[in-house]
Amino acid sequence: MTEHSISITVNGEKRTGHVEARKTLADWLREDCGLTGTHLGCEHGVCGACTVTIDGDAVRSCLVFAVQADGAEVVTIEGIGGSDGTLSPVQEAFRQCHGLQCGFCTPGFVVSVTSFLEQNPHPSEEEIREGLSGNLCRCTGYQNIVKAVQMASEEMAQGT
Amino acid sequence: MKPAPFEYHAPQTIADVTSLLAEHGDEAKVLAGGQSLVPMLALRLTRFEHIIDLNGVDELKGVSRANGTLSIRAGTRQATVEHDAAAGAAVPLLAQAIPLIGHFQIRNRGTVGGSIAHADPASELPAVALALDAELEIAAKSGTRRVPASEFFLGTWTTSVGEDEILAAVHFPVWEGSSGFAVEELARRSGDFALAGVVAGVQVDGSGVVTKSAISFLGMAPTPVRAPSAEAALTGTNPSGDDLAEIARLAVGDTDPTADVHASAEYRLHVGAHLVARALDRALGAARS
């Protein structure tokens, strides 16, 4: 099978590679870039664990082939916090509110919520629940994730 | 890697897409937003020798309005239309239906034309296209043709788009005058495919009498379906609560729901009638206000 040369900016760093067309962006990030923070749950677009942003839009990286992201800017969970390890407001709020237990789904939630709050900085609780509907969590029962989004929204409003 | 191997093509123009389709026929599949096709490839429910990616075709992107028609190029992302206030004002059913498609991450990638060409009977945009008598612009190497929505949906996942053709644009009529619209659906969880749903539009005159109406269902037959007998019963009347319940009963008579693990056919008929009454009540309220 033909391999394709790709060049993708991941978390601000340009990365190049050769991929089979059928390799998803999620697999390329994990296997070729070693960025294993992007988790794979269902691998068919249901669970949201693999959420990353492509050119600023949150998408499921298991439903995009790496070759399709050639030339794009991708941000993964590794690019959300500060390079010195400081947590982003969303990450800090998840920690404060106990918005995670096993943590498997958390990277997808954090990337999704970060993008969601950029689009809608002051969401109602109903909007938050709608915004979270594309990510599955099997531990928390979601209540503390909703609280974390509310806290992050308030923190970010104060910070601006 | 979960999908079977394929040759990847990234054409830049519609002409290049249709040439590739003419060359590869049924061994090729076009890839739009990929929110249905990629899962099917990953689960190996389907496989193709050639995948033709439409995402680099600029001619397939954009929204425009002219002569009472809102035209959406097929590759326009659902989120783009969702956040386009002018498009939503022109065709309110799009503004109401698109937020019900999947989740925002899906709509960031999924396209308007992809959803309509995929023709899942439980999806929203095919029912909107059918309710509004949209025209589907189909491109082939030999040229383009237009098909009315009433002739477009042939069966579950089957449309009148041929092997060597693509859906290039969707042309939605803009309703003038005092009009109101509503989408009502029942899904088990937010973002799931609906068990049953209805799309409704009404236009009223100064005294509240219905001058035009459109009702279509999703999830109630192998394709989206209109409810012509209910539309006829509604038009020319000034209906209120009890009338709407009767019109709703008429409407579900034009459907042919099936049973699956989530709902019986009888349940879908029951729910469908309530959704029609609710949607008409809301649409009439908006039209009269």
Identify from A25, A28, A44, A46 which residue to disrupt to test chain B contact, counting B C-beta atoms within 10 A and taking the largest count. Answer: A44
Give the pLDDT band of residue B282 (cuts 50, 70, 90): very high
Number of neighbours of residue B11 by Cβ within 10 angstroms = 18
Buried b (16+ CB within 10 A) or exposed e, A98-120: ebbeeebbbbbbbbbbbbbbeee
Which pLDDT score, from 0 to 100, does residue B51 have? 98
Task: With beta carbons under 8 A apart, name residues in chain A contacting B108.
Answer: 57-59
CA distance B117 to chain A (A): 18
Which pLDDT score, from 0 to 100, does residue A158 have? 87
Mean predicted confidence (pLDDT) in B180-196: 95
CATH topology match: A3-78 vs A89-159: no
Pinpoint the alpha helices (H) of chain A: 25-27, 89-96, 106-119, 125-132, 143-159
Which positions ≥6 away from B192 have C-beta within 8 Å?
A: none
Residues 59-118 on A with a CB inside 8 Å of B are 59-60, 62-65, 67-68, 112, 116
Strand order, beta sheet including B28-31: B7-9, B50-53, B28-31
At B230-247, the pLDDT tens digits run: 999 999 999 988 899 999
- Give chain B's domains with CATH numbers: 7-53 (3.30.43.10), 62-173 (3.30.465.10), 178-288 (3.30.390.50)
Q: What is the mean pLDDT of chain B?
A: 97
Structure tokens at A129: 């629940």
What's the length of chain A?
A: 160
Pinpoint the alpha helices (H) of chain B: 14-24, 37-42, 78-82, 85-90, 92-97, 104-107, 112-118, 124-131, 228-234, 241-252, 265-288
Residue with tokens 């691998």: A43
d(CA A2, CA A65): 14
Which pLDDT score, from 0 to 100, does residue A119 have? 95
Task: Kindly state whether A20 is in contact with chain B, defined as any CB-CB distance less than 8 angstroms.
Answer: yes
Superfamily covering domain A89-159: [2Fe-2S]-binding domain (1.10.150.120)
Give the pLDDT band of residue A1 (cuts 50, 70, 90): low
Q: How many CA atoms lie less than 13 Å away from B89 in the CB half-sphere?
A: 5
Give the pLDDT band of residue B81 (cuts 50, 70, 90): very high
d(CA B122, CA A79): 37
A133/B189 Cβ within 8 A:
yes
Q: With beta carbons less than 8 A apart as the criterion, state whether A38 and B44 touch.
A: no
Mean predicted confidence (pLDDT) in B97-118: 98
Which positions ≥6 away from A8 have C-beta within 8 Å?
A: A14, A15, A16, A28, A66, A69, A70, A71, A72, A73, A74
B79/A57 Cβ within 8 A:
yes
pLDDT above 90: residue B75: yes
Closest-CA residue to B285 (of B175, B127, B179): B179
Please tell me the least confidently modeled range out of A86-95, B164-173, B185-194.
B185-194
Q: With beta carbons less than 8 A apart as the criterion, state whether B16 and A12 touch.
A: no
B7/A62 Cβ within 8 A:
no
CA distance A22 to chain B (A): 6
Buried b (16+ CB within 10 A) or exposed e, A31-54: ebbebebbbbbbbbbbbbbbbbbb
- Phi then psi dihedrals of residue B212, to 5 deg: -155, 140
CA distance A8 to chain B (A): 16
Which pLDDT score, from 0 to 100, does residue A73 have? 98
At B59-69, the pLDDT tens digits run: 999 999 999 99
At B12-30, the pLDDT tens digits run: 999 999 999 999 999 999 9
How would DSSP label each residue in B181-242?
Answer: EEEEEE-SSTTSPPSEEEEEEEEE-TTS-EEEEEEEEESSSSS-EE-HHHHHHHTT----HH
At A53-105, the pLDDT tens digits run: 999 999 999 999 999 999 999 999 999 999 999 999 999 999 999 999 999 99
Give residue ranges of B with CB < 8 Å to any A CB: 1-8, 10, 34-35, 38-39, 41-43, 51, 53, 55, 79, 102-106, 108-109, 189-191
Size of interface A-B (CB pairs under 8 A): 86
d(CA B71, CA B182): 21
d(CA B127, CA B98): 12
Mean predicted confidence (pLDDT) in A2-18: 97
Superfamily covering domain A3-78: Beta-grasp domain (3.10.20.30)
d(CA B74, CA B137): 9
Mean predicted confidence (pLDDT) in B84-109: 98
d(CA B257, CA B281): 23
- Residue B7 Rama label (left phi>0; alpha psi -120 to 50; beta): beta
Number of neighbours of residue A29 by Cβ within 10 angstroms = 28
Task: With beta carbons under 8 A apart, name residues in chain A contacting B189.
Answer: 133
pLDDT above 80: residue A159: no
Domain boundaries, chain A: 3-78, 89-159
Give the pLDDT band of residue A160 (cuts 50, 70, 90): low
Mean predicted confidence (pLDDT) in B35-44: 97
pLDDT above 90: residue B1: no
A133/B1 Cβ within 8 A:
no
The partner residue sitting opposite B104, judged by closest CB among A4, A27, A131, is A131
Which residue in B has a C-alpha nearest to residue A51's C-alpha? B105
Q: With beta carbons less than 8 A apart as the criterion, state whether B145 and B133 touch.
A: no
CA distance B278 to chain A (A): 21
Structure tokens at A106: 């958390």
- Phi then psi dihedrals of residue B42, to 5 deg: -65, -40
Interface ipTM: 0.96
- Across-strand partners of B66? B69
Task: With beta carbons under 8 A apart, name residues in chain B contacting A62.
Answer: 38, 42
